[in-house]
């Protein structure tokens, strides 16, 4: 099957990057050092943390999308149709992976289930983000991880509770992803309003181990929300940002799914928190990966 990366619908704007930008955040932040990063071989290579690498993102509104007056690099598809700029979106509590899913984690899934995807996905360094995974591969992994955590007696009590209440391990929605990436203050990049190569892996030659570039300013202590690999979401790619009230799309149209965050191969403009990429759900590319979320029913 021809798997072409769908047009990302970016409308590139030649504009100055000297827009007014504010720094700082009122959100909780946890510094992550690559040196301290450990994974549990006895727990599907999930991070050796209290919640196995999942971080709670509390309920509340955040500013989604881009205002071209504040962010001249913004693409047209980041604007809300009715306002032409940003909108406040209220998001219920959810959990999201601190790191992108790694090769070791995905390899554990492949080895246990015999899953047949692109062999390149399970190859490579274990601590690097998995790539060459399609949207369907990512969902299969999420479903498997959901089943593993439900069945394991050795899961943190908080996760047991939420899973028992019907929450599901899956991909984040586009809204969840953007809130996790930029917090509630409308910042352009996860760390602020200026591009910083010391905070994220972009415009480089390849992927890096997850959490390799510490980002103390990033909301919720998440790593690699900009760059490294694009991340699949479970939101269909629409012409305007995700709208909870929108009518279902025409099912006869070809499927495209939103991916976020940009990759190591992208310019600073594409690793902004509001950038929306759309890709063919079967695309397996070396710059597309994912991270998990735990969503309420």
Partner 1 sequence: MASTSSRRSRSARRQEARRAAVTSPSAGASPSRHLWVPISFTLGLVAISFVGRVRDNPVLVWSFWASAGALVAWQLRLFLRMREELTMPAFSTVLRAQHYLQACLQLSVLVYWGWYWRPVYEYAWLLVAQILFAYAFGILLAWSRRRPYVLGFGAFPIVLSTNLFLWFRDDWFYLQFVMIAVGFLGKEFVRWNREGRLVHIFNPSAFSLGLFSVVLIAANATDLTRGQEIASTLSMAPRIYTFLFVIGLIAMYKFSITLVSGLAAIVLFGWSAAYFTATGVPYFIDSEIPTAVFLGLHLLVTDPSTSPRTPLGKALFGILYGVSVFALYSGLDAFGAPRFYDKLLAVPFLNLSVQRIDRVAGAIQSTRWWSRIRPAWPPARLNLAHMAVWIPFFVLMTATGRTDGRHTGHSVPFWQQACAEGRRNACERLIEVEYVYCADNSGWACNEVGRHLAEGRIVDPDPELSRAYFALACEARFQSGCLNLLEPDGFVAAPPRTLDLRLLLREGKATLTAMPEPELYDRACDHRWVFACDALAIR
Q: Using the rule CB under 8 A, is 139 a contact of partner 1?
A: yes
Stretch that binds partner 1, among 22-30, 82-90, 260-268, 280-288 (CB under 8 A): 280-288
Q: Using the rule CB under 8 A, is 151 a contact of partner 1?
A: no
**Residues 13, 40, 143, 196: which binds partner 1 (CB under 8 A)?**
143
**Measured between alpha carbons, how far is 193 from 273 in angstroms, rounded to an integer?**
10
Q: Using the rule CB under 8 A, is 256 a contact of partner 1?
A: yes
Report yes or no: 286 and 130 within 8 Å, Cβ to Cβ. no
Q: Shortest approach of partner 1 to residue 6 CB, angstroms? A: 9
Q: Using the rule CB under 8 A, is 3 a contact of partner 1?
A: yes
Q: Using the rule CB under 8 A, is 165 a contact of partner 1?
A: no
Cα end-to-end distance, the chain, whole Å: 34
Grouping H, G, I as helix, E, B as strand and the rest as coil, residue 136 is helix
Q: Tokens 């991270």 sit at which residue? A: 291
**Residues 156, 239, 249, 296: which binds partner 1 (CB under 8 A)?**
249
Q: Using the rule CB under 8 A, is 140 a contact of partner 1?
A: yes
Q: 95: which strand partners?
A: 56, 294
Q: Using the rule CB under 8 A, is 254 a contact of partner 1?
A: yes
**Measured between alpha carbons, how far is 175 from 1 in angstroms, rounded to an integer?**
30
- Indicate the residue among 66 and 173 with the shorter CB distance to partner 1: 173
Stretch that binds partner 1, among 217-225, 238-246, 254-262, 265-273 (CB under 8 A): 254-262
Q: Tokens 């902004």 sit at which residue? A: 272
Angle at 178 between CA 228 and CA 27, to 5 degrees: 100
**Measured between alpha carbons, how far is 16 from 182 in angstroms, rounded to an integer?**
21
Binding residues for partner 1 (CB under 8 A): 1, 3, 134-136, 139-140, 143, 170, 234, 236, 249, 251-257, 280-282
């Amino acid at each position: 099957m021809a798997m072409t990366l769908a047009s990302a619908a970016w409308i590139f704007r030649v504009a100055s990057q000297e827009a007014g930008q504010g720094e700082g955040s009122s959100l909780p932040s946890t510094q992550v050092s690559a040196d301290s990063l450990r994974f549990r071989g006895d727990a599907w290579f999930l991070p050796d943390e209290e919640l196995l690498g999942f971080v709670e993102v509390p309920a509340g509104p955040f500013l989604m999308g881009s205002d071209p007056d504040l962010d001249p690099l913004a693409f047209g598809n980041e604007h809300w149709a009715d306002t032409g700029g940003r909108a406040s979106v209220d998001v219920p509590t959810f959990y999201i992976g601190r790191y992108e899913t790694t090769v070791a984690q995905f390899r554990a899934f492949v080895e246990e289930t015999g899953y047949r995807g692109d062999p390149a996905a399970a190859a490579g360094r274990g601590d690097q983000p998995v790539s060459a995974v399609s949207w369907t591969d990512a969902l299969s992994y999420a479903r498997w991880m959901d089943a593993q955590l439900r069945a394991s007696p050795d899961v943190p009590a908080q996760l047991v509770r939420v899973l028992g209440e019907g929450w599901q391990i899956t991909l984040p929605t586009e809204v969840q992803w953007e809130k996790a990436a930029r917090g509630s203050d409308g910042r352009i990049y996860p760390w602020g309003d200026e591009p910083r190569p010391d905070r994220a892996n972009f415009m480089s030659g390849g992927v890096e181990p997850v959490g390799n570039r510490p980002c103390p300013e990033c909301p919720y202590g998440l790593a690699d929300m900009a760059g490294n690999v694009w991340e699949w979401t479970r939101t269909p790619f629409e012409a305007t940002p995700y709208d909870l009230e929108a009518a279902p799309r025409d099912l006869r149209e070809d499927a495209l799914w939103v991916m976020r965050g940009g990759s190591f191969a992208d310019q600073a403009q594409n690793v902004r928190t509001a950038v929306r990429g759309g890709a063919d759900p079967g695309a397996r590319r070396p710059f597309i990966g994912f991270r998990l979320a735990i969503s309420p029913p």
